Structure 1
Amino acid sequence: MTHNNWFAQSADWLVAKPLTILLILVVAMVLRSIARRLIDKLTRANSGGKVPALLRPLKERAPQALGSLLSERRAQRAKTIGSVFKSITSVLVFGTAFMMILAELGVNLAPVLASAGILGVAIGFGAQNVVKDFLSGVFMMLEDQYGVGDVVDVGEASGTVEAVGLRITTMRDVNGTVWYVRNGEILRVGNSSQGFAVAVVDVPIGYGADVEQATGIIDRVATEVSDNEPMSNDVLEPPEVLGVERVSASEGIMLRLTVKVRPGRQWAVQRALRARIMAAFEDAGIPGPLVRGFPNGE
């Protein structure tokens, strides 16, 4: 077309290869865009609070008692897992495109792959804590060990989970302090918001008290509280009076009551039962441990 020998000999480099590289980039961007749209569709929460499609094959331990926090937890979990898949997709697509471009330019890929492997090992070794936090966060998300709204104990900190990321978990304790815990540093997790909880109520009485009478009062009061609202909405099974838990010089005789309740509601049930039982003891004249030294509990 140009009647120029140099252009004719260089047409492959000047026209064919640039067009091939451009085509590779366009195809890579289109594939990445399609993959990201598909991931967004799978992670988008449906109307009516249904589980996102991406989470359906995964096990979910979130209690229904979380209410409005349940949808927030699912959305955050789906969004985080979706971001991981998006990052993996981008690396695979553009990494493959980069290798194809190098091959098109006539570069020997063997030394490049070897250098990339050595560089990856060096970066991974230098940033092993970040990689550890990231991988721990991924597995926590996939296994749904905890999520937004759960009350957890991770060893150094305990409280209500406010956010779960791939590297950091944000928690707020009962004093209002916000804790930022690295996922890689979490060796164990005690979750008080999965399945069910047990409200354990220990009630002390004096040595001169009638244990059978006190046990009967505890059983009666606990049944009344459990059968009436609002506690009836939280109690899952009838209360169980275990009887004498321990005897000590400072605490007197300790009686124990347990109630199976909805997750996260054990503390409210404990406070309500303890207040009602102590009031019933006072009405019945059951002496407390502080008056054990007086005859007949007087």
Structure 2
Amino acid sequence: MPMTMALSGKSLLEARANLRRMIANGQVFLENLPQSLKAASPNGAATWFFLAAATAIGGLVAGHYVFRLITRWGRDHFRALYDENEQRRSGKLAYLLARAGWMLLSAGVMFVTAILVAVIFDSGHEPSRATIFVIVSTYVVYRILRGVVFWNFFAPTSSAHRLVNLSDAQAQSLFRHWAAALAVGAIIIGLCRWVQILGANGAEAGTAMAQINDDAHRLAFIVGLFVCAALLALLAIIHRRELKAIILGPGEVKEKPGWLRTIAFTALPLILLYLALAWFVSSVRLTLGLPGGYIPVLAPIIVFVVAIFAYAVAAYLIEVIYERRAAAHERRELARLEAERRAWERTQASREMMSELSEETQEVLEEGAEMTMMHSVSAPDSQIRPYFPAFKRFFENCVAATILVVSAGELSRLWGVDIGRDGGHPLASALDILLVAIIAASAYRAVNGYIDHRIVEEGGTLDDEPFNPGEGDSEGGKGQSRLATLLPIARNVFVSFILAAAAMVGLASLGVDIGPLFAGAGVVGIAIGFGAQTLIRDIFSGAFFLIDDAFRKGEYIEIDNVKGVVEKISMRSFQLRHHLGAVHTVPFGEIHQLTNYSRDWVMMKLPLRLTYDTDVEKVRKLVKKLGQQLLDDEVVGSLFLQPLKSQGVYSMEDSAMIVRVKFMTRPGDQFVTRKVVYAAIRDLFHKEGIRFAHREVTVRLADGTKASELTEEQKEAIAGSVRSAIEEPGKDGRDSGKSAAAAL
């Protein structure tokens, strides 16, 4: 019967009348207890009870001895599982589960041993058998709860394997108090069960004595459950600080989420309220003679034991799986480091072989590789990238949420609340929505965490990070990898799918027919497609551009008259950050031609203004030698794809001979290497006596005109013309050497 029916006004009045009768019949039962014991005896004496109790105690003593032998044998043979410095969660769970399983097996052997002793001394008396079974089963259940559950949950003697946030003193105190409360509760429940059995054998059904016995055992359960509820409430009050510590876990309280702090703060009043309400409901149900009246008070312990065991097993399996994945990741990283080391050694050996060849042979090899990219091998990495279990927390949250929802449902069922789906009970819908919300939130965090980790692992930047143009000029640097570019878009797709799926499941849990919603969504999608053709064009154009790998995040591109670094990509457009700071938003559908300046490699050509008396061949050899030295440089050597070399005389000007040098790097590395190359050439030419030519402008005056005859205004005009000629930029990023003539 549901709880609401048991708590109706008419039922409460009936319960009050029944309670008065039960109290009176309880007194009668106590007065007639000696006669009831004699009536249950085969020979008319009450000694059968003491013989049955002695047989049960003897069997338990024998079973306890066997229990100790088995546990001692297991402690000696499974000592390898114990590590006083254990840090791994899987190691802690493995030890606790193994110990709990072994103690459970030992308790089962103890029960079997005690029953065998009872069978050996069996007298064929049914009340004696029932009494022995009550004593043995009650004690074994007490040992299971004490040793298998709470001994491993609090771990008072195994601080290294304790999973709850308790000190040694707190764990020992909690275990002692719980053990005492369990002992008292076991004695009370055992007596109540024995009173029930004695009453069932003391009178025939339907008689007045049967009614007295039934009222007596139900009254005994009411009193016994009151004592149990009071003990549990007293434990909660005494250990309220430990209760908060267990809920909050290790760490600072201020750093914990608000919902967890709220649960820790309200746990004690909720527990007290639950115990009071559970005892009241149990008393009413027992008074009305409804079945399972003692369950509400004991239900939390039953659900807790099953839930904690299920979660421990699931958490252990998750830990083992991810530890194996971490070990496999470490093996792959070691293999990668070994491959990089071997590639580095091969590259170094090749460079040494090249240096031993003649200069003519080196020139031939370099000319043969002129138009191909000499991929430089970076120095081997000495660190193993840490393993990132992105979805571990997701699976743990899913398991915890499932166990929580199932436990809440089972607790409701034990209370007598029917939450079957046929009736569409609100509690069932609320539990389903709670489960979906937790799983969706966990999936959202897991997907975001995994995508952020992969973006960073690929060398990319997150969308919420401030833009950093890096070192360089208007042509930007190297872009991010293709995966780092596509992952933010994939994030949007996955998050949208998670939210949509969670919303659909939540609506279905509320009883909403989601079939018409899908049909309506299709119609709305068609209408949007016809009404927003530009939007659809932008989305599809962007998809094809990304599939073609036309650009990536961080690359410097040019579209018509707009250029800049790709800073952010969305479903229909992307943003370009100009080198002066302006941000351009470009829809994908507006792209007709795209130029990418950051793909694969960059060829840098640097003009050098030298005097006409410079030995060009000497310059070529010096530049070649310098290029080899830069390749061996520990800082910038790995940045060169092709070494620095001279292209000879590029052009002849009035005041200088232009010699151009070139080298190849990856996009973004040219700015660092350019500074190093310029500085090295300056120092080298200064050492070798090679002079740079200064820019000169010749001003020719008209025939017969002398400079001394010019006015100040004319001199300023000539100076302005000369300055314009000097500062006018020429091609290839260099200043022109135009001459200016003023004819007066």
TM-score for the superposition, normalised by structure 2:
0.27
Quickly say closer, same or farther: Cα 1:129–1:42, change in 2 above 3 A.
Answer: same
Pairs within 5 Å for 1:74-223? 77-87=486-496, 101=513, 120=525, 123-139=528-544, 143=549, 145-147=551-553, 150-155=554-559, 156-175=561-580, 177-184=581-588, 185-186=590-591, 187-192=593-598, 194-223=599-628
- Confirm whether residue 271 of structure 1 aligns to residue 660 of structure 2: no
The answer to whether the Cα contact below 8 Å between 2:459 and 2:480 also exists between their aligned partners in 1 is: no
Structure 1 partner of 2:644: 239
Q: Distance in 1 between matches of 2:697 and 2:613?
A: 6
1:260 to 644, 659, 664: 664
Shift of 1:133: 3.2
What is the number of residues matched between the two proteins? 253
The answer to whether the Cα contact below 8 Å between 2:611 and 2:693 also exists between their aligned partners in 1 is: yes
Shift of 1:279: 4.5
Structure 2 partner of 1:11: none
Quickly say closer, same or farther: Cα 1:119–1:188, change in 2 above 3 A.
Answer: same
Structure 2 partner of 1:7: none
Q: What SS does structure 1 have at the residue aligned with 2:668?
A: coil
The answer to whether the Cα contact below 8 Å between 1:162 and 1:172 also exists between their aligned partners in 2 is: yes
Shift of 1:116: 7.8
Q: What SS does structure 2 have at the residue aligned with 1:290?
A: coil
Q: What SS does structure 1 have at the residue aligned with 2:574?
A: strand
In the alignment, structure 1 segments of 5+ residues that lack a partner are 1-17, 53-59, 294-298
Shift of 1:182: 1.8
Quickly say closer, same or farther: Cα 1:30–1:70, change in 2 above 3 A.
Answer: farther
Q: What SS does structure 2 have at the residue aligned with 1:135?
A: helix
Shift of 1:144: 8.0
Quickly say closer, same or farther: Cα 1:72–1:38, change in 2 above 3 A.
Answer: farther
The answer to whether the Cα contact below 8 Å between 1:61 and 1:195 also exists between their aligned partners in 2 is: no
Q: What SS does structure 2 have at the residue aligned with 1:272?
A: helix
Structure 2 partner of 1:228: 633
Q: Which amino acid aligns with 1:145?
A: F
Q: Which has the higher contact order (CA 8 A, sep 6+)?
A: 1
The answer to whether the Cα contact below 8 Å between 1:35 and 1:89 also exists between their aligned partners in 2 is: yes
Q: What SS does structure 1 have at the residue aligned with 2:625?
A: helix
The answer to whether the Cα contact below 8 Å between 2:578 and 2:584 also exists between their aligned partners in 1 is: no
Q: Distance in 2 between matches of 1:71 and 1:61?
A: 7
Quickly say closer, same or farther: Cα 1:124–1:208, change in 2 above 3 A.
Answer: farther
Quickly say closer, same or farther: Cα 1:125–1:27, change in 2 above 3 A.
Answer: farther
TM-score for the superposition, normalised by structure 1:
0.57
Q: Distance in 1 between matches of 2:631 and 2:443?
A: 48
Structure 2 partner of 1:10: none
Shift of 1:219: 2.2
Q: Distance in 2 between matches of 1:76 and 1:29?
A: 35
Q: Distance in 2 between matches of 1:71 and 1:28?
A: 40
Quickly say closer, same or farther: Cα 1:253–1:292, change in 2 above 3 A.
Answer: farther
Q: Which amino acid aligns with 1:84?
A: V
Shift of 1:153: 1.7
Which has more radius of gyration?
A: 2
Shift of 1:267: 1.8
Q: Distance in 1 between matches of 2:573 and 2:669?
A: 27
Shift of 1:81: 0.9
Q: Looking at secondary structure, tell me which structure has more helix per residue.
A: 2
Q: Distance in 1 between matches of 2:697 and 2:631?
A: 31
Shift of 1:270: 1.6
